[in-house]
A and B are shown apart, each in its own frame.
Chain A
């Protein structure tokens, strides 16, 4: 078997030896020009004048581009039509591209940019959710999901809780920054290398900007040094600018963003304000939940619509809500346009109900686990989500119970309370939280994929599909699927770069969908060839196709046997086509994008985590000391790769909720635009004890690729347990007399603030 096996990442050894090629490592074409993109220094201003005379005359400058130099449309948005490549008369965030310079070296391009004379007339800058709310500035109308009469249910409930908290955004901090290179071809065509999760969209947008059609543009990406959603829409800026400069100069053009420029210019995770009003009974059973989600979308639509939709779809997480009202406001601000980031709004939508459950348990003096279990989807519940999808595989109670047992959650919770009673300064906290994450793009048409498989006459196989590799192990998983279908060793399969001229009209590698979609498409292609080979062998050996079997690189039937290589040669000589395209579209998904009612997801992925933390009530310093995770990967295609996603996702989620703080000043300047000021988890932040298990009972009810489940995003939200555990620890600083509300990220400062405030209560 090639599937369900722990096979290492196909490029791991090359990466460890420094020979895996990233875009900037490709030998540079002759006379390559280097691009620098000059950015706005104002959050909101009219550009009164733009004098680039000195820039054009500067040493080494080959080409200067402004909005006037765009042959086609000045737009690089995914669908909103509101993301100009270069600002035209108006800037709406600090970092917005205004013009670009292609010069003989990067340094000369940067120096030339300083010679620009730009006159701004500043306009009022609204940079926060509160300012946008007051001004009524939005990127689109608010949306509401309604199930029953939540306000009435809350009013008549025996208990009621209201509150508000905030959670910050997050920079992707992929280690490889944004980069693109354009090679001019004949007829004004271009070949684009881009570090992108979305080659088709780059192709579409470059064509759009050049005033050409998609056939004139080819986009290629072998691998990215990390993506996490950051390279879903944002790389279009660099690719489009390089494409214009390349067609203008006839020279190849490369644009690699410096880390600081990358962090200022490109979008991040949305920050949210979360308001809740909840009614519940003595047992902690929720009868009604009324929540308001407010997000900072930044200057344009980008993907904010679907991101906020997903936040709404995850407001219930694992809990059956008899009545619910979920309102979502999408504010426009004069800050960088926020974009996709692992979880795509899911984390922001989901964390609130975990806090609410903890609060309910606190007021009732119960273990939050019991309140979770009593509210969880499962036996005796309606199992209908607020948006009307039926949860058919409510396995979360099973996972929670199993994890509570293996992690000794209840025993440790009691021990922590004993510890806290005797510890004056240091306090510990613990929490167990579950995850239910909906799998499918919420833009339904995106749930499709294509693949291209060639079997050569020597039996070696060339594999291509629409998915991109950003480290997540998609390529090895899809190769496993093809190897399994042909029953050949993985080493016989060449994993190749994603190219728009091989597989067209693909969707971004996003929404955790990579293996589900591309695995199925590749399987479809491989199966076509396999059927032809079977037919050929059956004719050759005079038996029925059903008598032909594939095993261990050998094909057998009617007492005869042949290697896959020999059969390939034989089929080639018999003039049988050994190349096929494959296609897949996800079945069973349908919902109304306006009311948001229906079944947007093919299935759900589940998991749960227990986090234990310790805090210092004098300084707010904190540390996650132990984590236990049980995660549902269905029947994992590759447990080693999936374990990597689980641990990496958790730690990234932990970073979002603890040390990763985006600080904008009042004028809208991002003050944390490099690793010196923006702090992602280091090796020492990793909990010393991490027990991670893939749930061995996991199975996908739906017919996904080998019954596996998507795993890219769901584990990120396991880190919600860290937020809840930190809150628990802060409550311990007043001997559990009052309940703390922490805003995320829970930096030492935030923890000390909450603990201090609590002591004043």
Chain B
């Protein structure tokens, strides 16, 4: 176990080593400006349009994991140990990949600027062993905006493609990239020293965190990437968490899920969904596939955003945070982590290590809702999680938490009190709705007005009641049998 001063990854079959580049250079810039591979496009440089979609492949516990990501907000050093696959890697006009041919033949490419990203998202879908249903195609492509086609021809192409991918088996080559070394890149860019660390163990991370308390902790980078592409910030010291094995797993005890901070949304949704089906539904609407493949639950919490979707859902579920510092760990209730806008309960040298999510109890009722202008790949106007135990028709342990309603994700204490030890019925749901005005004074912004936020936040409590009473989901996206909910 040592330290290397370079990263290595596979591109078009070759192992590439890089040591002298700006550690915050995006993979997109790297491809277009360093490698002259201009097939991958920039549409927004913030991970919202998908024109830059590339595919990453890596060996995880002996299996090859293939996923689509946004190259525009992914820093090059995060490629260490992985294979990078671009639209140019998979085919040429003379020898196109099946998907490239299908998208062209089915008239799925008009102006063509989004097409390479679409192709790569479909490549990732094909690598997944799932049927190419309308729903799965939609989920794979929700993060790829197309302004020309209306999407129909792209869906046609996706439905016709072969069920399973045929990537050349390069397990051995990928295995060779695996190593026990940590990485330390140190470069000078425009007179500015920049360092990028890739620790392998929790011990190394804790030590680095102590040595560099101001270093940026980088996980998926779906937020931090924008600090560079949009805010043009200079990040001088970065510690990348992606290779710390202890931060990348989910363990289960009899009564809780222990989710390490570095686990992505994509890798969490199934486990959480078993206990919290509503959370599953909302999580599938966080960002899009490319974001969920990179973004982590820990990151969503750690940055303290008032509009992150996971905190209200997890607060309602009674989640706890494990904070790790050089002197050990401490465990706090998730809602106590958020002190104020931009201010969290995180001491110098500490980092978010783990989220403990209790499994649902026998009598527990749990609801989660996300309200946004657009269903897919949008930031919430209001996000709500609600939980209580129902015994003999009476609510206990009521937890209602909202995002988008205050400067932090926050519990609605008055609304909770209105339901606690009360019967679960429409009258009491309405009492909780009325109490909500004492809990929040939301603001106007480009996502919603304060009055809409309050009204919809209230109505979500009523919706929870109506859904529970009728034992069905009431939503415009279905399921199909949505009649007569009165």
Contact = CB atoms under 8 A, between A and B. Distances in A.
Interface string A167-184: 000001111110000000
Contacts of B116: 15-16, 18
Q: Which of A17, A621, A679 has most B Cβ within 10 Å?
A: A17
A21 B88 CA distance: 13
Given A674-B48, A749-B452, A652 B154 contact: no
Contacts of A623: 375, 476-477
Contacts of A11: 109, 112
A679 B107 contact: no
Given A225-B113, A659-B374, A422 B46 contact: no
Contacts of B230: 258, 260, 674
B104 A13 contact: yes
A584 B51 CA distance: 38
A118 interface: no
A161 interface: no
A340 B60 CA distance: 51
A107 B148 CA distance: 31
A110 B228 CA distance: 12
Contact of A226 (B48, B103, B113): B113
A15 B45 contact: no
A621 B475 contact: yes
B48 A682 contact: no
B188 interface: no
Nearest to A25: B38
Interface stretch (B316-324, B328-336, B460-468): B460-468
A259 B485 contact: no
B92 A107 contact: no
B364 to A, nearest CB: 23
A683 B376 contact: yes
Interface stretch (B134-142, B201-209, B238-246, B269-277): B134-142
A223 B452 CA distance: 43
Nearest to B117: A175
Interface string A441-468: 0000000000000000000000000000
B486 A15 contact: no
Interface stretch (A127-135, A289-297, A423-431, A479-487): A423-431
Contacts of A107: 232
Given A111-B232, A620-B456, A175 B114 contact: yes
Q: Which of A173, A471, A641, A752 has most B Cβ within 10 Å?
A: A471
B152 interface: yes
A265 to B, nearest CB: 15
Given A425-B466, A426-B476, A672-B446, A9 B373 contact: no
A424 B110 contact: no
B476 A18 contact: no
B150 A647 contact: yes
Interface stretch (A236-244, A305-313, A547-555, A684-692): A684-692
A380 interface: no
Contacts of A684: 138, 142, 375-376
B434 to A, nearest CB: 16
B111 A176 contact: yes
Contacts of B68: none
Chain B interface mostly: loop
A686 B41 contact: no
A176 B463 CA distance: 41
A419 B483 contact: yes
A614 interface: yes
A50 interface: no
Contacts of B93: 13-14, 17, 19
B486 A676 contact: no
Interface residues of A, number: 92
Contact of A675 (B49, B91, B460, B486): B49
Contacts of B99: 16
Interface in A189-243: 223-228
B153 A16 contact: no
A468 to B, nearest CB: 11
B168 to A, nearest CB: 18
A71 interface: no
Contacts of B475: 616, 621
Given A425-B466, A752-B455, A688 B134 contact: yes
B225 to A, nearest CB: 12
Interface in B286-301: 288
A674 B374 contact: no
Interface in A729-750: 747-749
A175 B49 contact: yes
A176 B100 contact: no
Q: Which of B99, B148, B150, B476 has most A Cβ within 10 Å?
A: B150
A727 to B, nearest CB: 16
A18 B46 contact: no
A423 B449 CA distance: 28
Nearest to B120: A18
Interface in A624-649: 640-641, 643-644, 647-649
Interface residues of B, number: 95
A1 interface: no
A651 B155 CA distance: 14
B112 A426 contact: no
Interface in A235-279: 258-260
Nearest to A614: B476
Contact of B104 (A15, A259, A650): A15
Contact of B373 (A227, A674, A679): A679
Q: Which of A225, A614, A652, A661 has most B Cβ within 10 Å?
A: A225
Contacts of B45: 258-259
Nearest to A110: B232
Given A19-B92, A621-B475, A659 B373 contact: yes
A744 B377 CA distance: 21
B86 A643 contact: no
B147 A174 contact: yes
Q: Which of A8, A59, A652, A679 has most B Cβ within 10 Å?
A: A679
A259 B39 contact: no
Interface in B88-110: 88, 91-93, 96, 99-101, 103-105, 107-110
Contacts of A649: 150
A559 interface: no
A112 B92 CA distance: 40
Contacts of A20: 112
B8 interface: no
Interface in B150-182: 150-155
Contacts of B417: none
A426 B479 CA distance: 12
B145 interface: yes
Contacts of A110: 232
B46 A259 contact: yes
A424 B466 CA distance: 10
B486 A422 contact: yes
B186 interface: no
Contacts of A674: 44, 46, 48, 230
9 contacts: A12-B104, A19-B93, A422-B484, A661-B373, A675-B43, A679-B373, A682-B145, A682-B376, A749-B373
Given A11-B112, A14-B112, 11 more contacts: A15-B111, A15-B115, A16-B119, A19-B39, A619-B459, A647-B150, A676-B44, A680-B147, A682-B377, A686-B151, A753-B452
Closest 10 CB pairs of A and B: A18-B39, A471-B111, A15-B112, A225-B113, A651-B150, A424-B486, A647-B150, A471-B110, A675-B48, A12-B104
Interface of A: 8-9, 11-22, 24-25, 27, 59, 107-108, 110-111, 172-177, 223-228, 258-260, 419, 422-426, 470-473, 614-616, 618-623, 640-641, 643-644, 647-652, 659, 661, 663, 671-672, 674-677, 679-686, 688, 690, 692, 747-749, 752-753, 756
Interface of B: 32, 36-46, 48-49, 51, 86-88, 91-93, 96, 99-101, 103-105, 107-116, 119, 134, 137-138, 141-155, 190-191, 230, 232, 288, 369, 371-379, 381, 445-449, 452, 455-456, 459-460, 462-463, 466, 474-477, 482-486
